[in-house]
Structure 1
Amino acid sequence: MVEDTQQPQAQNGAQPQVKMQILAQFIRDLSFENAVATKGAPQGEVQPEITVQVSLDARKRGADHQYEVMTKFRVTSSNKSDNTTLFLAELDYGGVFHIEGVPEDQLHPFLMIECPRILFPFVRRIISDLTRDGGFPPFNMDPVDFVALYRQELQRRAQSQQTEAAPAADQRLS
């Protein structure tokens, strides 16, 4: 007789084991603008300064336990001395994940932290190849702290809700 070992764990109050599978990865949108090629090289010394903007989005798909997570990266290189743009790279990179065993209250952070963390090495490679193929040295992005990014977004939302609630409270008092 074969015994199901997961049944007693669930009955004893233990967390079910998290199961995660990457079903697909894809580029939704990709662009690279080489301003140096179109406008000409900047005069004088070039001191590139690179900024990276990251945004995340996740949504439930039609199938059970399936979620789509989109990471959006905007990489801008500009000349420090005169602030002219050298290049602009934009990448929307997504993954489709099958996730089971994550408690409902932990699903949102899981989707916005763990899934982008898994996609990041692929994003980094695409951006590196894109900048190199665009005529610049390959840009190897530093790792992104998705936990800090998630916390910043929660804090921003809380402040936004407080700001929206404050005028309503003032109006009731007057």
Structure 2
Amino acid sequence: MTETQAPGNGAQPAATPPKVNMRILAQYMRDLSFENVAAQKKLQGSNVQPDIQVQVSLDANKREGENQYDVATKFKITSKNKSDDQVLFIVELDYVGLFLIEGVPQEQLHPFLLIECPRMIFPFARRIISDVTRDGGFPPLNLDTVDFLALYKQELQRQAALQAQQGQAPAPN
């Protein structure tokens, strides 16, 4: 029987990083609103050319349970007619996933919560938005995939610029 031994210089093998475990424990709509402005204003006709604007914001909060987090993706979608800038519809969806996350180092937890978690629940939110717009009398709106990494980086840049601006503000007299 042979035994393998560590190198003679006393160096320890590198510790393997902990295995990352992420599970979606629950997901739900915290808020959903669909406003069919076109129907309210009795807008009709074949001259409708929708211009759709999508705003996405993210939020994450620690829950009382160990390693549990709420991650919310908030969508505000406004469709306007290109020809006269009239609003056709507005959809607002606040969709939340409850996650169990283990093995993510603390310094990587914030980006993990705001990039990977929204990526996991996005298809469900997209489906809800598609169904709501279809049920509201419009063609189903199938959102393009959101680049949550780019969104995260954009928010970091916005915060850095805001901090730099606040740091350069003149002192009050």
Shared fold (TM-score greater than 0.5)? yes
Structure 1 spans left out of the alignment, 5+ residues: 1-10
Relative to 1, partners in 2 of residues 1:12 and 1:86: Cα closer, same or farther, differing over 3 Å?
same
Find the counterpart in structure 2 of residue 125 from structure 1: 127
> What TM-score do the two structures reach when normalised by structure 2?
0.89
SS at match of 2:43: coil
SS at match of 1:130: helix
Residue 23 of structure 1: CA displacement? 0.5
Q: Kindly indicate whether residue 69 of structure 2 is the aligned counterpart of residue 53 of structure 1.
A: no
* Alpha-carbon separation, structure 2, partners of 1:108 and 1:126: 26
- Pick the aligned partner of 1:26 from 17, 25, 28: 28
* Alpha-carbon separation, structure 1, partners of 2:24 and 2:142: 24
Q: Kindly indicate whether residue 46 of structure 2 is the aligned counterpart of residue 41 of structure 1.
A: no
Find the counterpart in structure 1 of residue 97 from structure 2: 95
Find the counterpart in structure 2 of residue 7 from structure 1: none
Find the counterpart in structure 1 of residue 145 from structure 2: 143
SS at match of 1:113: helix
Residue 115 of structure 1: CA displacement? 0.3
The structure where helix makes up a greater share of residues is 1
Q: Structure 1 stretches (4+) deviating beyond 4 angstroms?
A: none
The percent of aligned pairs where both chains have the same amino acid is 60
RMSD of aligned C-alpha atoms? Answer: 1.6
* Alpha-carbon separation, structure 2, partners of 1:146 and 1:81: 32
Structure 2 spans left out of the alignment, 5+ residues: 1-12
Residue 12 of structure 1: CA displacement? 3.4
Find the counterpart in structure 2 of residue 66 from structure 1: 68
